[in-house]
Structure 1
Amino acid sequence: MRFLVLCREPRLYSCQRLLQACEQRGIHLDILDPNRMLIKLAVVQGQPIFQLYYQAGEIYQKNRPLELLPEYDAVLPRFGTASTEMGCRVLRYFEAKKVKVLNNSTAFSLARDKWLSLQALVAAQIAVPASSFAGELCAVEQHSNLHNTPLVAKTLAGSQGVGVMLAESKQNAQSVLAVLQQANLGYLLQDFVAEAKGQDIRAFVIGDRVVAAMQRSGEEGEFRANIHLGGKATKFELSEAEQQLAVNAAKAVGLSVAGVDLIRSESGLLVLEVNASPGLEGIEQATGLDIAGLMIEHLINQR
């Protein structure tokens, strides 16, 4: 078998772990940047033709030839937010060819939009922090007045805690929102869950079950618990009801593999967001589990 990981940086921990998991199972794995790909579509004598090319090398090497990529048995999307548009176009190419993908383009694109994914969660009756989104002509003063301070502002396409800001006062919130609005950056506002005390829970969902969970704690004075921002992770046991909540959240967005971020509030457990390309380093180190291997096994058995 031959698998493909769509990722800009093959040296990342997650990519290397997926490579190891494939090698252990005798699977050849390519790790390629979707931004270097060229897709060609045609209909010849009534038959659809799909071709995917790749241009290796540096961007300034304009005369490097295009390489026609081989056929793949399965594709794993691991591209970052800056590559979402092209990455999803490549995913749709493989879907049209009936190639197995671990998270389809529709679900991946939905998960990458924080507001649309929140709407999907609420439509599935899954509790989230009170959130709001405003059009570009809506005054930031009116928007911020919908929430008590402190409040959280999030850009729609941020990841790893980037683009998540805490506004301690209405004046501070309005200053932040004015900058985001002027920069034409879409954002949403959320109630700040102070009782969480800088902690959240990452549940790693594969298929119909939570295979691992960790509790993340932010550094002193940091309200975000992301590991990339210095947060610490420890293994965590979720109750059956909490595991089902995480699975339901992943299903609401349409993902077969997801990192579901949960936060404890006075009103119960809330879903912060659902990640379509969750990192493996923190969860594997915290739990000691072979998450990469579980992902590959799930993809092999996927019909």
Structure 2
Amino acid sequence: MTEPRIGVVGIPGKWSTEALADAVEAKTGFRLVIDMGRVTLDLASGALLHDGIDLCQLDGLIIKKISEIYSPHVLDRLEMLRFAEARGVKIFSRPESVLRLIDRLACTVSLAAAEVPMPATRITEDRDAALQAAREFGAAVFKPLYSTKARGMTLIDGDDPTAPDRIAAFAAEHPVMYIQQKMDLSGQDLGIVFLGGAYVCTYARVKQGDTWNTTIHSGGKYAPFEPDDALIELARRAQAPFGLDFTTVDVALTQIGPIVFEVSAFGGFRGVKEGCGLDAAAMLVEHVLARVSA
């Protein structure tokens, strides 16, 4: 029986993309890293082409990363992949599932509908309302709707005399302002990992120095963490509406109990490796092969 041909959608040269492509190659002998910036959808011929290869002829695609930077443009890339799915290619995770997570607001609305606890959150285009939220929250994190690893996030103290100017500067770049109350994270937050909806492990992101967030992009470090059953169940409930094949739920332990920040569209391989001592790429490939061959 011929081994399935499975492509990896990601960023060529990036560790997680290459690790996943290595894992696919080790199991199937086939290796293809797909840069969506080099993909052409030809509706007349019904082909989705990458360097002369029609992706619609593959057995499967794994989306590890859709773009280096999140933006509305990423949604167009997912629509192109949705065409391949319509042609019978099995995609992990499905483009429709990923679409609901690229926009931070879409993820938040789904979490709120599922009654998942989150920080106090307001969304507005009104700068006066944004200032009022910052004052009521005491300190507020202004978040771009499209970003990862805390990029573009701005911490604003509502009582700071410069707050109106800082809000205006943020709004000039991000007219729809996503505003969350800053929570005391006690120096860490958690990544709770699921594969096909089943719990895998939990790692902590521990902040370093005086930065206000814990992201690795800001110098945070991964560490092991053992959650209790209630925490795992909270994260399971948070990721369930999205139907992802591999994901990480970002959870923080606060004075008011555990809260969920977001559900990752792609999950974190390095956190699983360094915090849990597991090979996420190999586990995901096993999961994919079982479903492609079914």
What TM-score does the superposition give when structure 2 sets the normalisation length?
0.89
Structure 1 vs Structure 2 CA RMSD: 1.8
Q: Distance in 2 between matches of 1:101 and 1:17?
A: 18
Report the Cα offset of residue 208 of structure 1. Answer: 2.1
Task: Identify if the C-alpha distance between structure 1 residues 51 and 249 changes in structure 2 by more than 3 Å, giving closer, same or farther.
Answer: same
Report the Cα offset of residue 185 of structure 1. Answer: 4.5
Report the Cα offset of residue 151 of structure 1. Answer: 1.1
Report the Cα offset of residue 68 of structure 1. Answer: 4.1
| Candidates 262, 282, 286, aligned match of 1:273 | 262
Task: Identify if the C-alpha distance between structure 1 residues 179 and 220 changes in structure 2 by more than 3 Å, giving closer, same or farther.
Answer: same
Report the Cα offset of residue 233 of structure 1. Answer: 1.0
1:10: which partner in 2?
A: 12
Which amino acid in the other structure matches residue 22 of structure 1? Answer: V
Q: Distance in 1 between matches of 2:48 and 2:132?
A: 50
Does residue 1:161 correspond to 2:128, yes or no?
A: no
Where structure 1 has 5 or more consecutive residues not aligned to the other structure, the ranges are 43-48, 56-66
The sequence identity of aligned pairs, in percent, is: 24
2:39: which partner in 1?
A: 37
| Candidates 128, 141, 152, aligned match of 2:128 | 141
Q: Distance in 1 between matches of 2:223 and 2:79?
A: 36
Equivalences for 1:229-248 in 2 at 5 Å? 229-248=218-237
Task: Identify if the C-alpha distance between structure 1 residues 111 and 173 changes in structure 2 by more than 3 Å, giving closer, same or farther.
Answer: farther
Which amino acid in the other structure matches residue 278 of structure 2? Answer: L
- Asked if the contact 1:250/1:256 (under 8 Å) is kept, the reply is no
Which amino acid in the other structure matches residue 72 of structure 1? Answer: L
Deviations for 1:200-257, whole angstroms, at most 9, x for unmatched residues? Answer: 0011111122212111111221121111221011011122221122122112233232
Q: Distance in 1 between matches of 2:143 and 2:214?
A: 15
Q: Distance in 2 between matches of 1:267 and 1:2?
A: 48
What TM-score does the superposition give when structure 1 sets the normalisation length?
0.86
Q: Distance in 2 between matches of 1:97 and 1:288?
A: 37
Report the Cα offset of residue 269 of structure 1. Answer: 0.8
Q: Distance in 2 between matches of 1:247 and 1:256?
A: 13
1:73: which partner in 2?
A: 59
Deviations for 1:123-171, whole angstroms, at most 9, x for unmatched residues? Answer: 0111111101013xx2x12223133211111010010110222113344
1:50: which partner in 2?
A: 46
Deviations for 1:53-111, whole angstroms, at most 9, x for unmatched residues? Answer: 235xxxxxxxxxxx242521111112232462232022211221121111122221211
Task: Identify if the C-alpha distance between structure 1 residues 184 and 162 changes in structure 2 by more than 3 Å, giving closer, same or farther.
Answer: closer
Q: Distance in 2 between matches of 1:180 and 1:166?
A: 11
Which amino acid in the other structure matches residue 235 of structure 2? Answer: A
Q: Distance in 2 between matches of 1:252 and 1:224?
A: 27
**1:262 aligns to what SS in structure 2?**
strand
Does residue 1:98 correspond to 2:85, yes or no?
A: no
2:200: which partner in 1?
A: 211
Give runs of ≥4 in structure 1 deviating > 3 Å: 169-173
Task: Identify if the C-alpha distance between structure 1 residues 173 and 117 changes in structure 2 by more than 3 Å, giving closer, same or farther.
Answer: farther
Deviations for 1:13-36, whole angstroms, at most 9, x for unmatched residues? Answer: 111211221122124131111121
Does residue 1:131 correspond to 2:134, yes or no?
A: no
- Asked if the contact 2:193/2:199 (under 8 Å) is kept, the reply is yes
Count of residues paired in the alignment? 281
Which amino acid in the other structure matches residue 246 of structure 2? Answer: V
Which amino acid in the other structure matches residue 128 of structure 1? Answer: M
Does residue 1:114 correspond to 2:101, yes or no?
A: no
Where structure 2 has 5 or more consecutive residues not aligned to the other structure, the ranges are none
